[in-house]
Structure 1
Amino acid sequence: MAFTFICNTSAMEEGGMGLFQAGKKSVMLVWPKGSELKAYRGRCPHADVPLTDATFDGQIVVCPHHQWGFDGASGKCVTHIVRNVLHPYPVRVEGDEILVDVGLVKPPRPAAPPSS
């Protein structure tokens, strides 16, 4: 496993959510109330759209595109009878750093040069 630094522990608190980048990959961290810190792919498994504007009430992540809800602790869809689940990533805390194994991390693409 190749764990990648995502953020410092000070960026997260119980009941909170944050979206971060690991190279080209979007990582959503959620810390459900009364549970453990979780890491998921930052895209909706139903519509494959970014969860940039998702909401989290301390238990449920709600996708802003179709209002599908996902349990923050398990990743399972809780608003529809489907098998869609948030894609989990292994997560660990070392000292004051949150690390996630997202697989091979490719750097983001450089910005395109301005056209003349």
Structure 2
Amino acid sequence: MKTESTVSNGILHVRLTGDLIGSPDTQQLLQSVDDHLGESVMLCAVDLSGVRYINSTGIGVLVSLLTKFRSRGGELVLINPADHPRKMLALTKLNAIFTIAENETAAAEVLKSAS
């Protein structure tokens, strides 16, 4: 899995590509998010359009990220999950817990209205 993260307009944008299956990469992702939370970033948009496959560990990482932001009064939005991640979110009924936006613009609108 490859992770890219940037902060703009108070929103942490995380773009994931590859397989979200739990590995040293997921620990790096969680640490990167923790670092940004230390900078008082309260809003996060996670782009899942490049994630081919996700397993239960990957789902756990997403839930952990959501918990990190919501426990601090923030919010997290998933952007355009690819086919398999979208199916896994529906299968686990987490699509009712996560806010899902179709693109970055829609995600930014949701996040700004939540803050």
Larger gyration radius, structure 1 or structure 2 = 1
Determine if the TM-score, normalized by the shorter chain, exceeds 0.5.
no
Tell me the TM-score normalised to structure 1 length.
Answer: 0.31
Tell me the TM-score normalised to structure 2 length.
Answer: 0.31
